[in-house]
Structure 1
Amino acid sequence: MNKILIALLSLLAVQLSYGKVYKVKSPEEFKSAAAAVAPGDEIVIANGNYSNWAVTINSNGTADKPIMIRAERKDKVVFSGEVRQSVFHVSGSYIQLKDLKFEDCRLFKGQGKDVVLIQLNASKNCRVTNCFFTKISVNSQFMPIVVISGDGDNNRVDHSRFISNKNNMDVQVRVAKETVPLHSLVDHNTFMDKDSVTWNGNNGGECVQIGQDPILLGNRYAYATVRDNRFIRCNGEPEVISNKASGNKYTNNYFEDCHGELVMRGGHECMVDSNRFKGGTGGIRVNGTGHTISNNNFKNLPIAIRLMYGMAKGKTDTGFYIAASDCVVKNNHINHCETGILLGGAKNADWTGKFDTKRYPSRTVQDIAPHNNELINNAITHTKSPVVQ
């Protein structure tokens, strides 16, 4: 009798450890489920093709019992068609979106509102995982498809695929004057076959963008990490990854045949470590102060590492570009490149008339050389010009 009682109690404990499952097949059913879910519950979206979704969830799971929003089967729940509102807007905590597919979505910019596929807004410990974004297009420049924004922290985009998307930014961590999401993690994703944007200026096609205004907001610390991602034939614009905030880490990413670079466009005190570059138009471009560029591997590139001229220097001057200074470039391996390390890219480049000097009170000529940078133990082989100044 005692053994039977113990078995029944154990079965009851197992059952209680699982939450409820809400199976939905429409935005209305999703909204009802989102209003009812508790920690450990699941919202399962039935297999099928969907359009005209715009749903929000502001619920709270726990670390042990997150709220799961997932496809009934991976890649069998497909969102497509015109998008004029955020498809999924998440602002709670410990919520996971998993196994969803977005294909042939056409995003149309809205007046005064975000139009994205997934937005984690002021969320905490939320996650987008194992999702697939392919053939996504936008009708306006500088539109991302997955956004982390607001005063949230510890949100994650991982193990997802971004394939053949056009004219858009793929993943954006939004750094604003009033709000900065902290400790965002973008990891183990694949970005592939991104054609050059058609916008004037060839701008607005980053795969990953951390921060948006390097001139006025580059000093904001986001502490984001971008690691273990693959970037294959990503040709959207000259910046495959664009850093425009401070205190971020870019580690163990792989770049192959990309027409663009990993770019410290703005910000300070970032770490760029153990990344690999094979083929393409460039490796790492550096503006700003206090960065560490270490243990990276470069092969078959025109220039592996560029330390750039600026219009200003340090953390307090306002400049459209900040000269690279007080950076440590160490233990990098550069092989079969035209130039290994360029100390002084964009020397005397004139930006007169190319940006708004009222909004950005900056000098317009890049005439401040990179300075106080250390080059330590870099191995440069089979390279025409190892170090150029």
Structure 2
Amino acid sequence: MKRKLTGMLMLLLFAQVSFAKSYLIHNEQEFKAANDNARPGDVIRIANGTYAPWAVTLSASGTKTQPVTLTAETVGKVIFTGDVKQTLIKVTGNYAVINGINFTGCKLLKEDGKTGLLINLDNTQYSKITNCYFEKNRGTVQFMGLVIVSGTGQHNQIAHCTFNGNIDELDIQVKITKTADCPLYTLINNNVFQNKEKVSWKVFNGGECVQVGQDPVLLGTRSPKTTVRNNQFTRCNGEGEVISNKSSDNKYIKNVFENCDGELVMRGGHDCLIDSNTIKGGDSGIRINGTGHTVTNNTISDVKTAIRLMYGMAKGKNEVGFYIAPNGCLIQNNTISNATTGILVGDNKNQDWTGKFDTTRYPSRVMQDVPPTNNKFDNNKFTGVTNSIVYQ
């Protein structure tokens, strides 16, 4: 009897899979029809070719074992290019996959109250962007992103994508607003970021590869619990922050940085894990503001300063400051070689920020005069370092 039940369940599962449909589409109208009819396990295939940007929403939902998939007919042979005046592909369905699409030479515009964006995972759960290629796309307004995770979704993933030579934009943003809710458990893994030139914007800001949170003052205590791991960053020089963390309880694990001018930066937020990353070449390695961070098992070489703990305008999780001084952080088991300074405790001492940020938007003192305190340094290894630990 047990064998019969198992057999019947297997047949039922096979029948469900065999009934999955595949739609080959050529335009937005055909996409919308396929999306309206799509069921778990169905595949919407975009015919090979080059397209002007669309404005479509993938609202169909799949299941854990049978996602709905939007894919190129042949991976890499579906190319979107040209002016993007709103969201090209918005995903709102759960268990949805975007696969194998190429975005090349897109120009992101902001006009008529709309903002150009390539892919937005908005309020979706367990959805994924994979095997997509983003090359030489350009932002026309500061702080525009190519791929954004927004809303209150959970467990979304961006994996095995390539971001190459994009200009004046942010590659991936985990968007956090003033509301208490934010995207949770986003996973950004096994992507390649490369050949990112310095942005043309004022003070060279707005060119991160990965940004988790946007407002260090108002959003520093939000906890999206994002994980960024096993990504490769090569010649990423868009600005001073290759990765910018502005929220709490995130993890940055086993990423590799080669010859990047920017750093892995805890710009705001608290209680993040920075573990087992490899940084080789470039200017500096890891920059720390905020409390309770764990910086362990990182390998940093051939830089000017490996790890910097900055002065702040305030301290602790409850005070408000444009920068929060590092407090209660653990810096342990890091291996640092061929650097001028291994660990610098107290950079930017007495920096005056008068007129350099909006004190109405960011209610903070302007003097960076609060030193790092109560941080623990243990079992860090230094080779070929002029100054192992410097206190200022």
TM range (shorter): over 0.9
CA RMSD, 1 decimal: 1.5
| Distance in 2 separating the partners of 1:110 and 1:59 | 29
From 307, 313, 316, the equivalent of 1:314 is 316
What's the counterpart of residue 30 of structure 1? Answer: 31
Counterpart code for 2:85: R
What's the counterpart of residue 375 of structure 2? Answer: 373
| Distance in 2 separating the partners of 1:77 and 1:225 | 29
**Equivalent residue runs for 1:279-298 within 5 Å:** 279-298=281-300
Counterpart code for 1:380: F
What's the counterpart of residue 4 of structure 1? Answer: none
What's the counterpart of residue 330 of structure 1? Answer: 332
* Cα offset, 1:380, TM superposition: 0.9
Q: TM-score w.r.t. structure 2 length?
A: 0.95
The alignment status of 1:151 with 2:152, answered yes or no, reads yes
| Distance in 2 separating the partners of 1:52 and 1:373 | 50
Q: TM-score w.r.t. structure 1 length?
A: 0.96
**Equivalent residue runs for 1:263-278 within 5 Å:** 263-278=265-280
**Equivalent residue runs for 1:103-114 within 5 Å:** 103-114=104-115
| Distance in 2 separating the partners of 1:302 and 1:386 | 12
* Cα offset, 1:305, TM superposition: 0.2
What's the counterpart of residue 100 of structure 1? Answer: 101
* Cα offset, 1:356, TM superposition: 1.4
Which residues of structure 1 form unaligned runs of 5+? 1-6
**Equivalent residue runs for 1:1-389 within 5 Å:** 14=14, 16-18=16-18, 19-178=20-179, 179-389=181-391
Asked whether the equivalents of residues 109 and 115 of structure 2 are also in contact (C-alpha less than 8 Å), the reply is: no
Counterpart code for 1:118: I
SS at match of 1:240: strand
* Cα offset, 1:85, TM superposition: 1.1
| Distance in 2 separating the partners of 1:49 and 1:323 | 50
| Distance in 1 separating the partners of 2:276 and 2:11 | 48
SS at match of 2:325: coil
Which residues of structure 2 form unaligned runs of 5+? 1-6
Deviations for 1:151-170, whole angstroms, at most 9, x for unmatched residues? 10100000000000000000
* Cα offset, 1:15, TM superposition: 5.1
Asked whether the equivalents of residues 46 and 71 of structure 2 are also in contact (C-alpha less than 8 Å), the reply is: yes
| Distance in 1 separating the partners of 2:57 and 2:199 | 30
Change (3 A) 1:315 1:12: closer
- Percentage of matched positions with identical amino acids: 49
SS at match of 1:28: helix
* Cα offset, 1:92, TM superposition: 1.2
| Distance in 2 separating the partners of 1:13 and 1:143 | 44
SS at match of 1:34: helix
